[in-house]
Amino acid sequence: MAPYALSQVQRLADRSPSITGPEIVAELVPPPQFEHASFESYRPDLNFPSQLEAVERLGTFAGAWLPQRPSGFFSRTRKPKAELPGIYLDGGFGVGKTHLLAALWHAAPGPKYFGTFIEYTALVGALGYAATVKQLSGARLICIDEFELDDPGDTMLMTRLLGELVASGTRVAATSNTPPNSLGEGRFAAIDFLREIQAMSANFEIVRIDGLDYRRRDIEGHAIAVPRDELDQMVPALLERGSAVTRDDFGDLIRHLSTVHPSKYIKMIHGIDVIALNDVYLLTDQTDALRLVAFIDRVYDAEIPIIANGQPLNEVFDEEMLSGGYRKKYQRSQSRLVALTTGELPPHD
């Protein structure tokens, strides 16, 4: 690699950002790829009628914010059962749940917020519970993408937070790969925890979305790993054309993620165009794997391509992980890693 290139290569392992409550709030909007998402721009797979049905049901949910019309998309008379204040999109990976959630967010009047489960819990950590309730109070809609119940403490925290907000008139929309009354199944057996899940699910109409993973429809179902000599050539080529590139040993990145709170991962990758990784290997520690999942979620939202050598990135989770209680997280991450990895130079903007 040329000396000038060496001096320009950055390392994610050297980035240890800080983040404040107001910065987290400012990021509570849909990811860039869904900046203009709408119900009209969603392309349902007609082989799966539940996709079109989901669009219609979300249109009805959004109709509560609009004046009654004699005709048109939002005039449908069918309403969610029992006028529930929440709607929950359940389905597999890559069926368009986030697109539809973002479309609902765009259709809603403000104030409104859109974030992942971890972003909301990070906001509580940064501001404190009472200040978070004050910040979010008055919102017409709160969207929670990929609602996770991996930690009973976080689950109870979010249940309490949503309960207060719903009681004050806020409506809630969420996505998950598991219905809300099944989210903790097989993970924790505490009676109190299961009671909290059931109480939360009672606020939501559940909308099932079936279909194929759009991220894998037109590409082979595995991440691309490039030979080391090709990676050595690709990085300076990217730098020469002005791309901001990071290059890390996979092990260094995994160790560094353990020192950075997941809420800060979004700032860790700020300003980066391409991520390069050396010597990817199979993970056997579940804590390391879950941190990587959270990191890849942020990389996917930021649409940053990855070039890597070693083990294909979608094969870094071992069999025990893929058959355990967090398997849906790992499967979602595998889907995203297939979409992010490339064996060619990423397109230049």
pLDDT in the model for residue 15: 95
Residue range 277-292: average pLDDT?
95
Q: What is the percent of the chain where pLDDT is above 90? A: 44
If one compares 249 and 212, the residue with the highest pLDDT of the two is 249
If one compares 37 and 125, the residue with the highest pLDDT of the two is 37
Please say whether the beta carbons of 110 and 64 come within 8 A. Answer: no
Q: How confident is the model at residue 149 (pLDDT cuts 50, 70, 90)?
A: low
Res. 2: pLDDT tops 70? no
What's the gap between Cα 252 and its chain centre?
Answer: 24
Tokens in use for 121?
A: 């819990």
Dihedral sign computed on CA atoms, order 116, 119, 123, 124? positive
Q: How confident is the model at residue 316 (pLDDT cuts 50, 70, 90)?
A: very high
Q: What are phi and psi of 271, to 5 degrees?
A: 80, 0
d(CA 295, CA 333): 10
Residue range 317-343: average pLDDT?
85
Res. 3: pLDDT tops 90? no
What's the gap between Cα 264 and its chain centre?
Answer: 14
d(CA 212, CA 308): 26
pTM here is: 0.72
Tokens in use for 159?
A: 């249940």
Res. 219: pLDDT tops 70? no
If one compares 212 and 47, the residue with the highest pLDDT of the two is 47
Q: What is the percent of the chain where pLDDT is above 70? A: 80
d(CA 269, CA 278): 17
Query: 141-155, 191-205, 323-337: which has the highest mean pLDDT?
Result: 323-337
Average pLDDT, the chain: 82
Dihedral sign computed on CA atoms, order 297, 303, 309, 311? positive
Res. 328: pLDDT tops 60? yes
If one compares 205 and 279, the residue with the highest pLDDT of the two is 279
Tokens in use for 140?
A: 């017409």
pLDDT in the model for residue 80: 41
Q: What is the DSSP string of 194-260?
A: HHHHHHHHTTEEEEEE----GGGSSS-SS-----HHHHHHHHHHHHHTT--EEEEEHHHHHHHHTTS
Poorest-pLDDT segment among 139-153, 163-177, 236-250:
139-153
Nearest to 296 by CA among 250, 332, 346, 244: 332
| Per-residue pLDDT tens over the stretch 54-109 | 999 999 999 888 765 555 555 455 544 446 899 988 877 678 889 999 999 999 99
| Per-residue pLDDT tens over the stretch 167-211 | 999 999 988 755 556 655 544 434 454 455 567 677 888 888 887
